[in-house]
Amino acid sequence: MSKNLSELSGRKGLRENLFEELGIAATQTGTPSTEKMDQLAEKFIMGKANIYGAATFYDFLRPENKGKKVYVCNGSACMTAGTQPELLNKLGSHFEASEIGEMCCLGRCHENSSFFLDGKNYSGTDIDNIETIKKGETTSQEKYNVKSIGTPVLTNEFEGIDSYYKLLETVLNTPADDLLKELKISGLRGRGGAGFPIAFKLESCKNTAGNQKYIVCNADEGDPGAYSDRYLLEFQPHAVLLGMMIAGYITGANAGVMYIRGEYPEAIEITDQAIKDLYTKNLLGQNILGSKFSFDFKLIKAQGAYICGEETALLSSIEGQRPEVRVRPPYPTQEGLFNKPTVVNNVETLACIPYVIKNGGAKFASIGIGKSTGTKLVSLDGFFKTPGIYEVDMGTPLSKVFNELGGGFKSPVKAMHIGGPLGGLVPVEKINNLTVDFESFSNAGFLMGHASVVCIPSDYPLVKYLEHLFQFTAHESCGKCFPCRLGSTRGYELLNKAQNEDYKIDRELFTDLITTMEIGSLCALGGGLPLPIRNAMHYFKDELSPYFSE
């Protein structure tokens, strides 16, 4: 990360955004032309190599994307469901092979058979209507269950802008320190994986001097199997937006950035309209409701890069730089977007803030268990009889979520990958031992993360799944640190060779490889991958033993 490049990109602030202009330049052909990149380099006073290096990193901007018309989901949930080969075959009757690309993941994990066409997502039986879809006459028939047991913090029916934003009047008449105190009492922790208390980030940013500060919503929900953030952006966008505004008031920030993954076109459209509605109601802009508080939103469409779920890579992305992970310190709350104090939090975390402020920190803290306060959204994939998004109090038995809400499995399952690619690989016999909270998973050697669930059926070769995880990491690595960039590639090569040649992997060598990734990687992509690999090697040693030498 170059501080100089951050400053150059920030000269125009968010009004003219380099990353956004790269996306616009790729609209017609799927990749920005060399001529356009040269123009942007001159406009933003950056080297041509910087612009080219950034553009060619993203799945939807790189030259290989040119000419693509339809994209098939290659995420873990669709892969283990086994739906994509047939989907590809059907699409092959309507498109040339060169016109078919890949995306990961479309957030249709509840019914699979997912694909993207003409700016819209489709799944389930939608492929059977491909002719009318191509003509623009049919929309997706997608449907999934949404239910809450316990306290509905995030799944209540929206009451309307006028009623909902009365809370903003209260906020603007309350000292920022009092609001921060309530968030401290609430114990609200980040719902994106790390579980870091949000009040600490807000306080750090608040106490950092600066005339310009930012609140950034990390809506780049790239974990295959997770679609809880997508649910919030499409059905509860105002919880997220108001949460960001309250965070802005507390910290002294006057700008919010919604960074939403390009694989969620409907979420982008709905959130954009919600922001426009707030401007129409004079709830955004200068001196909101006659106060001294001003706040504006910028919505940015991401371009396909899992690493942008890491907060510092996301900031580099917004700046139009190659999205590489930054070394910390300094932390984003001290030097973040355009080198200004910035708070980055994920969708579900920010959406909890209005509930905390309206009902008090003690009320939120009374929900849940121990240090895992409040509720958690859980995403259940298509292997459940009633897949969907379920909100449960922290501490709810996992068995209750799976059996009562999910209706149990439709077919035999041997393991669940919970919490995304870097989450724990949980054998099915452990279901009764876990509860939905940070400590339960951590103490058992797993990671709750997003609480997304990707099921691995009994007949799916686990070695193939592990190969997929390494390949995924190798593809998505920012490349900045050697352990992640090289380790993921070597892991993929070893597992691929063991399956296709007369070759056995040296177990000690393999363990050294993942240990190096674990302790030497700059971020959780390379550092987190070893967790599910270790889980698999421990709980499924017999199944994997034919591929390893002792």
342 residue type, one letter: T
pLDDT at 221: 87
CATH 3.40.30.10 residue ranges of the chain are: 70-143
Q: Regarding the domain delimited by 462-549, which CATH topology (the fold level of the hierarchy) does it fall under? A: de novo design (two linked rop proteins) (1.20.1440)
The encoded tokens of residue 512 equal 């050294």
54 contacts 320 by C-beta, under 8 angstroms = yes
Which of 248, 167, 237, 153 lies closest to 201, judged by CA? Answer: 248
CATH 3.10.20.600 residue ranges of the chain are: 378-456
Whole-structure pTM value: 0.96
Q: Regarding the domain delimited by 70-143, which CATH topology (the fold level of the hierarchy) does it fall under? A: Glutaredoxin (3.40.30)
* pLDDT tens for each residue of the chain, 550 residues long: 468 888 888 888 898 999 999 999 999 889 999 999 999 999 999 999 999 999 999 999 999 999 999 999 999 999 999 999 999 999 999 999 999 999 999 999 999 999 999 999 999 999 999 999 999 999 999 999 999 999 999 999 999 999 999 999 999 999 999 999 999 999 999 998 778 899 999 999 999 999 999 999 999 988 999 999 999 999 999 999 999 999 999 999 999 999 999 999 999 999 999 999 999 999 999 999 999 999 999 999 999 999 999 999 999 999 999 999 999 899 999 999 999 999 999 999 999 999 999 999 999 999 999 999 999 999 999 999 999 999 999 999 999 999 999 999 999 999 999 999 999 999 999 999 999 999 999 999 999 999 999 999 999 999 999 999 999 999 999 999 999 999 999 999 999 999 999 999 999 999 999 999 999 999 999 999 999 999 999 999 999 999 999 7
Q: Strands 452-457 and 375-380, how do they pair?
A: parallel
Burial of 86 (0-12, 13-18, 19+ CB in 10 A): exposed
Burial of 432 (0-12, 13-18, 19+ CB in 10 A): exposed
pLDDT at 8: 84
Q: How far apart are alpha carbons 53 and 79 in whole angstroms?
A: 30
Q: Regarding the domain delimited by 146-366, which CATH topology (the fold level of the hierarchy) does it fall under? A: Rossmann fold (3.40.50)
39 residue type, one letter: Q
Cα four-point dihedral sign 305, 223, 521, 317: positive
The encoded tokens of residue 8 equal 């150059």
238 contacts 164 by C-beta, under 8 angstroms = yes
462 contacts 536 by C-beta, under 8 angstroms = yes
**CB within 8 Å of 534: residues ≥ 6 apart:** 445, 514
129-to-92, 98, 113, 125 alpha-carbon distances in Å: 14, 22, 13, 8
Cα four-point dihedral sign 327, 330, 333, 338: negative
229 contacts 221 by C-beta, under 8 angstroms = yes
Q: Own/partner pairs for 520-523, CB < 8 Å, 24+ apart?
A: 520/481, 520/482, 520/483, 521/481, 521/483, 521/484, 521/487, 522/325, 522/327, 522/480, 522/481, 522/484, 523/307, 523/310, 523/312, 523/313, 523/325, 523/484
CATH number belonging to domain 378-456: 3.10.20.600
Q: How far apart are alpha carbons 234 and 239 in whole angstroms?
A: 11
Q: How far apart are alpha carbons 466 and 425 in whole angstroms?
A: 10
pLDDT at 13: 84
Strand-pairing partners, residue 296, are: 255
pLDDT at 194: 74
**CB within 8 Å of 148: residues ≥ 6 apart:** 155, 375, 390, 391, 392
The encoded tokens of residue 424 equal 């724990």
